[in-house]
Structures are given as structure tokens and as C-alpha cells.
Amino acid sequence: MPFSQDTAHTLIATLREQLGDRHVLTAAEDIAPALVESRGLYRGTALAVVRPGSTEEVAATVRACSEAGVPIVAQGGNTGLVGGGVPYGGIVLSLARLDCVRSVSPGDAAITVEAGVILADVQAAADEVGMLFPLSYASEGSARIGGSLATNAGGTAVLAYGNARELVLGLEVVLADGRIWNGLKALRKNNAGYDLKHLFIGSEGTLGIITAAVLKLFPKPLSRSVGFVGLPSFRAAVELFQHMSRAADRDLTAFEVMPRFGLEIVLKHAPGSVRPLAGDHAVYALVELSSTRPNADTGEDLEGMLAAGIENGLVEDATIGTSEAQNAGLWALRENLSDVQKAEGGSIKHDVSVPLSRLADFLEQATAACEREMPGLRVCAFGHAGDGNIHFNLSQPVGMDKAAYLAEWGRFNRIVHDIVSEMDGSIAAEHGIGLIKRDELALYGDPVGLDLMRRVKAALDPHDLMNPGKIVALGDDAPAALPV
Amino acid sequence: MPFSQDTAHTLIATLREQLGDRHVLTAAEDIAPALVESRGLYRGTALAVVRPGSTEEVAATVRACSEAGVPIVAQGGNTGLVGGGVPYGGIVLSLARLDCVRSVSPGDAAITVEAGVILADVQAAADEVGMLFPLSYASEGSARIGGSLATNAGGTAVLAYGNARELVLGLEVVLADGRIWNGLKALRKNNAGYDLKHLFIGSEGTLGIITAAVLKLFPKPLSRSVGFVGLPSFRAAVELFQHMSRAADRDLTAFEVMPRFGLEIVLKHAPGSVRPLAGDHAVYALVELSSTRPNADTGEDLEGMLAAGIENGLVEDATIGTSEAQNAGLWALRENLSDVQKAEGGSIKHDVSVPLSRLADFLEQATAACEREMPGLRVCAFGHAGDGNIHFNLSQPVGMDKAAYLAEWGRFNRIVHDIVSEMDGSIAAEHGIGLIKRDELALYGDPVGLDLMRRVKAALDPHDLMNPGKIVALGDDAPAALPV
């Protein structure tokens, strides 16, 4: 800790005075949940968990910490997957009490929310006025929108609507010195100087703390059709995507893939799962067409596209949901895949992207390399194929010791990330860098780009108090990655 | 000039050696076109116009200037409208020779181009592979893509495809110290640290020089229908937009407005213009539906939407083009409006945006305030209503002295920008800040946001050599705005 015990005591007393005793938690059992990240890979330490109730209170908290020289980690739902929210001895600033939907304006197709609003509640507030907030991912029931934006979250709606970044019109941010930047504009066009919001989106709390945002809303689809497709290979899946994206353009709202192994473990471990197709296929795709046009027939369109796929040999078999319940059942096969991997033992994970034209090559090369490295290892490569983003996960060989397997994490990172890098891809497609990939970024990132990041960090947070040691380490005193 | 004559001589000699004599222009007649901006509002000075032929030569040029302490202004087509490309005694770095389309990849829906490629040539290269690069604006025949990105250009396709910023996947940038940042990735998802490309897009050459970019391509629309609509008021136009954008969603690819005065001066001054509707209407809208779906009937859709508009009293009259020639004729009525204003004498211009829900209020209030300020003044408020972006231009009273009228520019800026600011709008929606709005930005910008911009500028360009004095002035020695 770079600050003294006295400093810590004085800071806690100041914060208690500013926020009230019950919003400054210091008891071990109260702060425990904030110290561990969602996969249990890291455990940190903290002086306190502080729960300000307004933007002004966030600003006062940050100012007090800044004056004391004590680092701050912002947390929303603490659902991140890269250790970005793990604290190292400073203050955890919870945004949970900033949970107000400030306004919904259908006329501007915009909603203004505070950082602590749960993602599903943003979706619900949009739905209430007959509109759509498309951002959607597995943890949406507990993830808070401030974290979604701070990590530029992806998910299943990126194909048609973009990443979290693309859904933001304006931001309110508390800076490292406790000042408030008010960039809460509901404008579709604004070239009044540098676009500061893009600095903070995806910066994982290292440049400032997002306290509120103006988000885009969209017309709600009036119809959707979901298909589950059996394919001979990932290469066929990518080719089917190319055909469908040309024919359906923005009506193609999802194109997700999984291997046979993925479907089998969902059917085995997720209660209520129903086998969607009679035969077995090497690869499966979940595809969705949606339309906001009253006269659209997404079912007919989808049938036509899949029939064409069968004709030109890409598709082996396919089914289309005939009710919303069936559609939900097909989606569940994809959504449950994240969870059921746990039941198969240790899983070494990669969240990578490559240019779409290299995706099939990547999957073939990386699969072969990993299987060669450890016979019996089971590749579970699945996810957002339409975005070129694959969760290239590796389930352990049956019967191997889990801890011994997970100790090989670094070795497989090197194999997979080398191939990604050679294909001009990204080693951090949608989950971010945080702690878990900081050293990987230092290894694979463009050195000039890394230097730019450090300069930006130093310019906005000169004392390195905002989530220090995440994304880029500024000095030698940056905390090392601390596994549990 | 903050550098000596000797320094200048040595620098020119170095550049001649690096690039060859014929690419370092110093004769007054050779450099004259680079000193004036496109509306003739400012005239600058320069030591030389330098024409590097590759990214490496751009880097060498910047390094030489950096070492000599001589400022650099990057220029593409020099078509900017805010004086952002006007030099003040340093070097003009022309990107015109970096005019190579490096690659087109339909499989990645991406094209990689150098900064000097003319926008229309990017469109043509996309068209050659059956795809669409949607960015489109009046000067596309001479504007170069590096400038489009450096200014985050808007134009007529923003409604469906976004600003220039939204069309960028990756960038290559020469930094202030001459290093090259290679961020030329063709990825749809990349959360590997701060998103540096968004720093440079829209920074008007003040943070670095964009030398190449990977841009998104889209499926080409298979059909389009264009309508020209007569309306009783701007308020009715905004309401029609709301109805149409809900019904057509992303098929609505344009919604432009102009007042009766605008249509009349186009019909008067633009040869070949044909009056689109028999009667007179207070406001006109040009609307376009496009679709990439083979079975779409945009004509029927548009007819239905305009019929509904007539039924609920928003639309007074409308026509729909029945051939591509007719569509082009209707578009020409809108496109020629920028140009024909010149024929009506002096024009005081504002490029503003407000939230869509305030657009009608803005137009009513600003029109009334300006007409009150100077009876006889003719408001020509037109543009991208669907984006909330209006070119709120004011043609002089008939018979008034043009220079005397233009001397009132600042007075009308104050009136219009006060109303924009009160409505949480932007005083620089799509043309940028440059020189012409730098002092307005200092006046209306959030002070914390302005401080952030200065910090970013100082971090990336510590010696203030990249297009100094544009967007934000760093020191007291920043060049003042110098009208011709």
C-alpha cells in the first residue's frame, strides 16, 4: 500500500461524514463479495466499499480519495470476466445506488440512465415505451449499465446494433480529481471538438467513473424468426453467414455458432434442453431474423435462406421455431453453453476475434494446435461468428486433475494468441483486458499504441489512482496479477 | 513565427532531400491554393507545401518538422468548411499522393484505403465489388478520405449508416513525433485497451495525421424510392419523420428538409431544376427508402407512409420518383441548395444540432429571433432533419451591402448558438470546429470537457505542432482567426 494507516483512517472518517456510516462498509463480511471477480480467479483487498447515492457523492468520494492518494476501483454488478473490478488495497466505489432512470424520450429515441441501473432494467424501461434497447448478454440480470459501458460490452445483439460503444449518445463522468464532466447530450451529430465519450467507454474505470449515460433506443421488432442449423464445418457456417448477411442485411440480428461438443454438454447438463435436430452435425448455428416492418415475413425469408443453404451444400439440416416458446428454447441452447462448461471440469478461455475472412482458418489452425498440444482436450469454440468473435474455450481432458489443467492456462494462451496475432486479430474481443490480459496486451499490442494508452492514462489520471494496474501498468509498482 | 529563418531554410533543405525537390513546393503560385479555405473566409501563410508519397515519407516529414519545431497542417482535398486546414506559417502536408486503395475484402465487408483517396473513388472501389461505402456529401468528388475521417464528416447517409466515425474499423496514424501507430485492424470487435482510433477521428489533424484506414462496406441496396413532400411546417416535417422512422426503421435512408425559400432559389438558379409539386408549401422534405432485400417493395412502402401522412394531416402533397432519373432530379433539388445560396448574396451560416424532440422548437424560435433582429433577412434552414442537424443559414436582405451584412456574423452566431446551447444542442454538428468556431467552442463548451481536450492535446502533441490553434488553443501564442 502506497499510503499510510493514518491516511486510510482519516479517509474513512471523511467518507463516513460525507456519505453516512451505513454507506461506508468496512466489515470483512460486508466487503467480501466485492473482493472476488465473478469466475473466482482473483481475490483482492480493500479498505472499504463505499456506496455514494448521487453523482455529487461520487465526485466527493473521488475527491477525498484523490487528496488522500488512495486508489479507487469502480464496481457495478461485478460481473466482469477479466478481473477489471478487483481492488488492490484501496476503495471499492459501488455505483449500485445510482439506479435511477432519469428520463425516457421516445421522440429522441433516447433514454438517460444512471450508472447503477441494471442492464435488464434499461431494457425494460425501453420496452415500456414500446422501444428496444438492444444490448444483451448473459449477466444482464445483474450487470449494471455503467459497467457495460466502461467495458464496452458486446453480447448477442452486436451484429445488428453494434457494441455498447455504438449505443451511447452522451456520458456523465467523474474524473480522477473529482470534477464532473457533463457530456449528457442526446445528439446524433456532434463535432464540437474531440469525442471524449469514446475515451471513457471501454476504459474499464482507469480514466474516470461513468455516472450516467444517454443511450440510443430503437424501434421494436414486430416479428422475429429463429433457426437452428446443422452444418458440416465452421467453414460452411462462415459461408452461410456471408450469404445470409448479404440477403438479409440488417434484418440478420444474430448468427451464433457452437460445435457438436457444445450442444452435447448443453443437452447433458442444462435441464429442460431439447435436441433441436434429429441427426448429429459437426457445427451448429443459431440464426435470427427480425424486422420492424409491419409487412415483413421473417419466417418466409429465413426459410428461403436456409433452403438455399441446403441447395448449395452448406446446410445439412435446419429447424425454425414456430412459436416464441420454441424460439426461446432454441436460444436457450446457445445461452446455457457458457454455464454448462463448468460441469465438464476446468476450462481455459480465450475471447478472441479475427477478420471474418480468416475465421474458418483460425478455428481449424487453433483447434489442431491445441489438440496436438494436449490429446484428449475438448475444444469448445463458440459465440458470435457474425462478429468474427469466438470464445475459444478448451475443456480439460476427461479425468485430468482440474488444477493441473488450469496451470497450463498460459501455455494455451500463447498458442491461441500467437495464431490470433498472426491473423491481425484481437486477443480481447468483448470482455476487455482488466488484469487477466494486461500482460498479454503488453506482449501482443502495438508498442506505439501501448505508449499512446499510457500517455492518455497519465494525462487524465496523473497520480494513477483510477483502477491502477488494469489495462496498462504505468509504473513498476503496479499490482501483479494475484490469483486466488 | 516561433522558429527562425535559418531553421526554416534547413528544414526545407532536409525535406527536399527526403522527398525530392518536386514534392516540396515553395513558389508562391504553387502554394497559393493551399493557403485559402474553400469558402474564401481565411487566408494563411506557409513555408512550403510538402507532398510525401508514402506513410514512411509522411513520418519522415513530421519527424523533421518536429525536430525543427515547425508546425504542420495536414490537407486532403482542402474542402473543409471551418478553416481547419488553414496554415499559419508552417508546413502544409498534402496527403494527395497517398492515393492507393490497398485492398478490398468483400468477405470482411471492408476496404483499406490511404488517406489521399478521393471519397468518390472509395465509393467506386466498393461499387466495383458490388458493395456500398455509404459516406456521401457535396464535395465527395474532391474531398479525400483522410480529411473525411479527420473531421468525422456527416452528409446525407448518416441517418442509416452513421457519421464517418461509425464507418471506421481501423486506422494508421503518424503521431506528432513522427512515429507510426498501426491500428489497421479489420475487426468488428476489439476491446484490447483504449479505443485509440476514436481519438484521431474528428480531431482535425491536431493530434496526428491519419495516413490510412480500414472502412466498413455494406450490402448494396437493390431498390430505392425517393419522395418529395410538401408540408405545412417544420413541426409537421419532424412528426412525419417520427412516423416514418418507426415504420421503416433502417430502410429510411434519408430525411432532408428545406424551406420554401430554399426550393425557390434552387428553381431560380440551378439550371435544369424542375418544380416537383404544383402548389406552394411552407416546408419540403426529401425522403428516401432503400432496401437490400430482393423481395422488398420500397415504392409501395413509401406510398403507404406518405398516404398515411396525408390522412393524418401532416403531408399536404407529395410525389414519388418513378425512375432513377426522376430520383436523381429530386435529389438534385436538395443537393444544389448549398451552392445556389451564393447567388442570393451574403450568407451567415450555422451548422447546428439539437435533440430531435426540440428541433421544431429550435427552428421556430431561431427563425423568429433572427427575423426580429434584422427585418428582410431570409432564413434558409435546411438539411439533415432526421439527424437533428440543420444548416441554419441566413441569406442577406435583398439590396443590402454584402460586406456590411457579413460583418454581422458574430451577432447572429450569438443569437442562434444561445438558443442551441439552451436546448443542449451542438454548435458544430458535422463540419467541425477548426478556426471559425474555436472561440465559440471556448464560450459554449463545458469547461471540464474543454480542459480534458487540452490535456489530451498536450499529451499527444506536447510541442503544439500539429495544426496548432485549431479546436482548442493551448497557449496565448495561438494564432488568432485571420479573415481574408
- Which residues of chain A make contact with B458, given a CB cutoff of 8 A? 459
Averaged pLDDT for residues A147-156: 97
pLDDT in tens, B230-271: 999 999 999 999 999 988 878 999 999 999 999 999 999 999
CATH number at residue B360: 3.30.70.2740
* C-alpha cell, A450: 501501448
pLDDT of B482 reads 47
**Is there a domain that residue A165 lies in?**
yes
pLDDT in tens, A54-106: 999 999 999 999 999 999 999 999 999 999 999 989 999 999 999 999 999 99
**B190 CB within 8 Å of a chain A CB:** yes
Size of interface A-B (CB pairs under 8 A): 261
Regarding whether A324 and A292 lie in a shared domain, the answer is yes
- Which residues of chain A make contact with B186, given a CB cutoff of 8 A? 355, 424
| Torsions phi, psi for B92 (to 5 deg) | -95, 120
**A245 CB within 8 Å of a chain B CB:** yes
Regarding whether A227 and A208 lie in a shared domain, the answer is no
pLDDT of B336 reads 96
pLDDT in tens, A256-313: 999 999 999 999 999 999 999 999 999 999 999 999 888 889 999 999 999 999 999 9
Closest chain A residue to the Cα of B471, Cα to Cα: A193
Exposed / middle / buried, residue B274 (Cβ in 10 Å: 0-12, 13-18, 19+)? exposed
Please indicate whether, in this complex, the C-beta atoms of B199 and A456 are within 8 angstroms of each other. yes
**B387 CB within 8 Å of a chain A CB:** yes
Regarding whether B214 and B112 lie in a shared domain, the answer is yes
Residues 6+ apart with CB under 8 A from B166: A166, B216
Could you give the percent of chain B with pLDDT greater than 90?
93
pLDDT in tens, A154-182: 999 999 999 999 999 999 999 999 999 99
The whole-angstrom distance between A26's CA and the closest CA on chain B is 32
pLDDT in tens, A38-61: 888 888 999 999 999 999 999 999
Residues 6+ apart with CB under 8 A from B271: none
Q: Answer for the pair A383, A391: CB distance below 8 angstroms, yes or no.
A: yes
**Is there a domain that residue A36 lies in?**
yes
Averaged pLDDT for residues A250-254: 93
Q: B194, B209, B439: which to substitute to probe chain A, counting the most A Cβ within 10 Å?
A: B194
Mapped to the 3 state alphabet, what secondary structure does chain B carry? CCCCHHHHHHHHHHHHHHHCHHHEECCHHHHHHHHECCCCCEECECCEEECCCCHHHHHHHHHHHHHHCCCEEEECCCCCCCCCCCCECCEEEECCCCCCEEEEEHHHCEEEEECCCEHHHHHHHHHHCCEECCCCCCCCCCCEHHHHHHCCCCCCCHHHHCCHHHHEEEEEEEECCCCEEEECCCCCCCCCCCCCHHHHCCCCCCCEEEEEEEEECEECCCEEEEEEEEECCHHHHHHHHHHHHHHHHHHEEEEEEEEHHHHHHHHHHCCCCCCCCCCCCCEEEEEEEEECCCCCCHHHHHHHHHHHHHHCCCCCEEEECCCHHHHHHHHHHHHCHHHHHHHHCCEECCEEECCHHHHHHHHHHHHHHHHHHCCCCEEEEEEEHHHCEEEEEEECCCCCCHHHHHCCHHHHHHHHHHHHHHCCCECECCCCCCCCCHHHHHHHCCHHHHHHHHHHHHHHCCCCCECCCCCCCCCCCCCCCCEC
Q: Answer for the pair A335, A383: CB distance below 8 angstroms, yes or no.
A: no
CATH number at residue A237: 3.30.70.2190
pLDDT in tens, A329-360: 999 999 999 999 999 999 999 999 999 999 99
| Torsions phi, psi for B386 (to 5 deg) | -60, -25
Please indicate whether, in this complex, the C-beta atoms of A196 and B242 are within 8 angstroms of each other. no
* pLDDT of B481 over the 70 cut: no
Last residue in a domain, options B397, B422, B447: B422
pLDDT of A312 reads 94
How far does chain A reach from its first CA to its final CA, in angstroms? 19
CB nearest to A357's CB, from B105, B188, B192: B105
- Which residues of chain B make contact with A165, given a CB cutoff of 8 A? 195
CATH number at residue B189: 3.30.465.10
* pLDDT of B27 over the 50 cut: yes
**B449 CB within 8 Å of a chain A CB:** yes
Please indicate whether, in this complex, the C-beta atoms of B424 and A355 are within 8 angstroms of each other. no
pLDDT of B476 reads 57
**B129 CB within 8 Å of a chain A CB:** no
Would you place residue B38 in the very low, low, confident or very high pLDDT band (cuts 50, 70, 90)? Answer: confident
Measure the CA–CA gap between B134 and B130, rounded to whole angstroms.
13
CB nearest to B193's CB, from A250, A431, A433: A433
pLDDT in tens, A367-419: 999 999 999 999 999 999 999 999 999 999 999 999 999 999 999 999 999 99
Regarding whether B246 and B192 lie in a shared domain, the answer is no
CB nearest to A459's CB, from B187, B433, B456: B456
Measure the CA–CA gap between B335 and B344, rounded to whole angstroms.
17
Q: B149, B167, B191: which to substitute to probe chain A, counting the most A Cβ within 10 Å?
A: B191
Averaged pLDDT for residues A14-23: 98
* pLDDT of A1 over the 60 cut: no
Count of domains for chain A: 4
Chain B, 281-310: which have a CB under 8 Å from a chain A CB?
292-295, 301
**Is there a domain that residue A483 lies in?**
no
Of residues B229, B257, B227, the one with CA closest to residue B387: B257
Residue-wise DSSP of A270-329 = STT----SSS--SEEEEEEEEE--TT--HHHHHHHHHHHHHHTTS-SEEEE-SSHHHHHH
Measure the CA–CA gap between A340 and A270, rounded to whole angstroms.
7
* C-alpha cell, A113: 440512465
Regarding whether B255 and B326 lie in a shared domain, the answer is yes
Regarding whether A262 and A191 lie in a shared domain, the answer is no
Regarding whether A109 and A209 lie in a shared domain, the answer is yes
Regarding whether A188 and A122 lie in a shared domain, the answer is yes
Regarding whether A376 and A310 lie in a shared domain, the answer is no
**A356 CB within 8 Å of a chain B CB:** yes
* pLDDT of A484 over the 50 cut: no
Averaged pLDDT for residues B409-421: 97
CB nearest to A357's CB, from B108, B188, B450: B108
Q: Answer for the pair A195, A210: CB distance below 8 angstroms, yes or no.
A: no
Give pTM, 2 decimals: 0.97
**Is there a domain that residue B474 lies in?**
no
pLDDT of A2 reads 77
**Mean pLDDT of chain A, nearest integer:** 95
Of residues A124, A129, A154, the one with CA closest to residue A139: A154
Measure the CA–CA gap between B74 and B209, rounded to whole angstroms.
7
- Which residues of chain A make contact with B250, given a CB cutoff of 8 A? 250
CATH number at residue B61: 3.30.43.10
Last residue in a domain, options A167, A201, A219: A219
- Which residues of chain A make contact with B428, given a CB cutoff of 8 A? 190-193
pLDDT of A250 reads 85
**Is there a domain that residue A258 lies in?**
yes
In this predicted structure, which of A122-126, A419-423, B248-252, B317-321 has the lowest mean pLDDT?
B248-252
Please indicate whether, in this complex, the C-beta atoms of A188 and B356 are within 8 angstroms of each other. yes
Last residue in a domain, options A56, A76, A94: A94
pLDDT of B40 reads 81
pLDDT of B416 reads 98
Please indicate whether, in this complex, the C-beta atoms of B424 and A186 are within 8 angstroms of each other. yes
Q: Answer for the pair B457, B388: CB distance below 8 angstroms, yes or no.
A: no
ipTM reported for the complex, 2 dp: 0.96
* C-alpha cell, A315: 446446410
State the residue range of the domain holding A196: 101-219
**Is there a domain that residue B9 lies in?**
yes
Helix (H, G, I), strand (E, B) or coil at A173: strand
Regarding whether A188 and A109 lie in a shared domain, the answer is yes
* Cα separations in angstroms, A107 against A218, B238, B459: 11, 10, 39
The whole-angstrom distance between A266's CA and the closest CA on chain B is 26
* pLDDT of A214 over the 60 cut: yes
Closest chain A residue to the Cα of B354, Cα to Cα: A187
Residues 6+ apart with CB under 8 A from A91: A11, A15, A46, A47, A48, A49, A50, A61, A65, A70, A71, A72, A73
pLDDT of A104 reads 98
**B193 CB within 8 Å of a chain A CB:** yes
Would you place residue A131 in the very low, low, confident or very high pLDDT band (cuts 50, 70, 90)? Answer: very high
Of residues B110, B112, B66, B73, the one with CA closest to residue B95: B73
Regarding whether B84 and B41 lie in a shared domain, the answer is yes
Could you give the percent of chain A with pLDDT greater than 70?
98
Regarding whether A11 and A85 lie in a shared domain, the answer is yes
Q: Answer for the pair B441, B429: CB distance below 8 angstroms, yes or no.
A: no
**Is there a domain that residue B479 lies in?**
no
**Is there a domain that residue B448 lies in?**
no
